[in-house]
Chains A and B, each alone.
Chain A
């Protein structure tokens, strides 16, 4: 791997060097993240390799993974709108036989929710978190949809609800509370917010924080075209509050989130729509639990955590019932 990476970087950056000290940071069944050092003469720079070793898990219940070259285009488009993201330096090619991969800059910061929630040095970042979520999302949503790479999911409101119903049906309809949420969503008129590029997984854990601001928005694998409200409701979902009580990542208020959003270009979805998308996110989390359970049971992704996630279904049900009381 080291020599292939060295060649790709040398070709892309126009100078010979050595890629060394590869260290696996994280990775599920689909995607690996590695940190390594790139040395040219006596200069050395820490870099990141994101790599999809095979074609990924191909399962009818899983959305098709966004190709990494499309992800690279999205990062570049978001960067042009002022979103903090890593810079892509080079990508792996088919003849490298390492699967798809992107080589990018390593940005300093902390993504682990438990540290961000507790450590004193993040006090200022916590205070600004909700406002800065709003700001970053508004910038992502400013990307011109006509510039987007092909192949992004782009479903209308009714098509999307149909997709969720089919998933519930495929999993054998284990949850009447999920069906209650779907029925409620189906009775609502189409959301009013604009159709935009949605990050799709914008939440604590995928956000790299420095001590006073956002260092990077990571993990763009679930990006798609959707309603602006969707990302705003998602970041408020109870599952991403990590023990905190406040709606936005356990740290901030709806108002701070929407003020941050509005500060970019003067408009924001209204709170009722954000709550609708929060319900949608709770249902989505329930479906993710069912998907992971299915992958476990089919033997695609063995392991204790996947087996246990089936028992987190009741969290999504509790969230849905609490939200429905507030929304009705």
Chain B
């Protein structure tokens, strides 16, 4: 079966090589947005599992059930999770990963990578071990 990557890449090649050159004005602009979204989906295909793994670790570490981000927000709102170093580190790491999917060209992403170099690239189990210490 053809993989998601191959299908998305084929779609993007089609828009880039066949469609984009024929367009101008608003439709050219929107087609560029469409191509950006396909690239986003390609990044999600490769990094989505890491994000899910990180959320699973977070759910266990902070003892939360249901949709992870929503449960953590509500717990923070209600003062049921401590705003300590472990939480801040976790949120920085999660946001870096989400940003690597959504828009790695964002200036804040580059700044955060420079400010917190030890958080970049450490995902999944490695993080679990650190939080469990």
Is A190 on the interface with B (CB-CB < 8 A)?
Answer: no
Tell me which residues across on chain B come within 8 A of A318, comparing CB atoms: 95-96, 99, 106, 108-109, 112
User: Chain B nearest CB: distance from A33 CB in Å?
Assistant: 16
Contact among B30, B72, B103, B112 for A322, CB-based, below 8 A: B112
**Contacting pair B99 A315 (CB below 8 A):** yes
A135 in the interface (beta carbon within 8 A):
no
B69→A176 contact, CB < 8 A? yes
The minimal Cβ–Cβ distance linking B126 to chain A, given in whole angstroms, is 20
Most buried by B among A178, A179, A243, A325: A179
Task: Compute the total of residue contacts between A and B using a CB distance below 8 Å.
Answer: 90
- A173 vs B88: C-alpha distance when bound (angstroms): 18
Q: In chain B between 81 and 96, which residues have their CB closer than 8 angstroms to a CB of chain A? A: 83, 88, 91-92, 95-96
Tell whether, in the assembled complex, residue A317 and residue B37 are in contact, meaning their CB atoms are under 8 Å apart.
Answer: no
- A243-B107, A322-B112 known; A314-B73 Cβ under 8 A: no
CB 8 Å contact bits of A312-328 with B (1 = contact, 0 = none): 11110111011011000
Known: A305-B33, A308-B36, A311-B102. Is A180-B108 also a contact (CB below 8 A)? Answer: no
Task: Report A157-181 residues with CB < 8 Å from chain B CB.
Answer: 165, 168-169, 172-180
Q: CA–CA, A304 to B27, complex, Å?
A: 11
Asked whether any CB of chain A lies closer than 8 Å to the CB of B118, the reply is no
Q: List residues of chain A with CB within 8 A of the CB of B70.
A: 172-174
Tell yes or no: A241 within 8 A of B by CB. Answer: yes
The interface residues of chain A lying within 8 Å CB-to-CB of B106 are 315, 318
Contacts of B33 in A (CB 8 A): 304-305, 308
Which residues from A are CB-within-8-Å of B37?
Answer: 304, 307-308
In the complex, whether A3 has a CB less than 8 A from a CB of chain B is: no
User: Measured between alpha carbons, how far is A307 from B30 in the docked complex, in Å?
Assistant: 12
B52 contacts partner chain A, Cβ-Cβ < 8 Å: no
Could you say which of B36, B72, B103, B109 contacts A176, with CB atoms under 8 Å apart? B72
User: In the complex, how many residues of chain A place their beta carbon closer than 8 angstroms to a beta carbon of chain B?
Assistant: 34
Question: Residues 6-35 of chain B: 1 if any A CB is under 8 Å from the residue's CB, otherwise 0?
Answer: 000000000000000000000000100110
Any A CB within 8 A of the CB of B130 = no
The count of chain B contact residues (Cβ–Cβ below 8 Å) is 31
Bound: A172/B83 CA distance, A: 21
Q: Give the complex CA separation of A304 and B95 in angstroms.
A: 24
Residues of B within 8 A of A173 (CB): 69-70, 73-74, 77
Check A183 for interface membership: any CB of B closer than 8 A.
yes
Assess the A177–B107 pair: CB atoms within 8 A.
Answer: no
Q: Which of A183, A308, A312 contacts B83 (CB 8 A)?
A: A183
User: Do A179 and B102 form a contact, CB below 8 Å, given A304-B37, A322-B112?
Assistant: no
B115:A311 contact, CB within 8 angstroms: no
The answer to whether A176 and B99 touch (CB under 8 A), given A315-B108, A318-B109, A318-B112, is no
Q: Which residues of A contact B73 (CB under 8 A)?
A: 168, 173-176, 178-179
Q: Which residues of B contact A23 (CB under 8 A)?
A: none
Bound-state CA distance A312–B99 (Å) is: 9
Query: Which residues of chain B have C-beta atoms less than 8 A from A304's C-beta?
Result: 30, 33-34, 37
Tell whether, in the assembled complex, residue A317 and residue B76 are in contact, meaning their CB atoms are under 8 Å apart: no
**Any B CB within 8 A of the CB of A292:** no
Asked if A317 and B98 make an inter-chain contact with CB atoms under 8 angstroms apart, the answer reads yes
Contact B76 A180 (CB under 8 A): yes
| Least distance between B17 CB and chain A CB atoms (Å) | 20
15 contacts between A and B (CB under 8 A): A165-B77, A173-B74, A176-B73, A176-B76, A180-B88, A183-B77, A183-B83, A238-B108, A308-B33, A315-B106, A317-B98, A317-B99, A318-B106, A322-B112, A325-B115
User: Given known contacts A175-B69, A311-B102, A322-B111, what 10 new A-B pairs fall within 8 Å (CB)?
Assistant: A172-B70, A173-B73, A183-B76, A305-B33, A311-B40, A313-B102, A317-B98, A318-B95, A322-B115, A325-B115
| Chain A interface residues (CB < 8 Å from chain B) | 165, 168-169, 172-180, 182-183, 238, 241, 243, 245, 304-305, 307-308, 311-315, 317-319, 321-322, 324-325
- Return the 7 tightest CB-CB contacts between A and B, nearest first: A173-B73, A318-B108, A176-B72, A179-B76, A179-B73, A314-B98, A314-B102
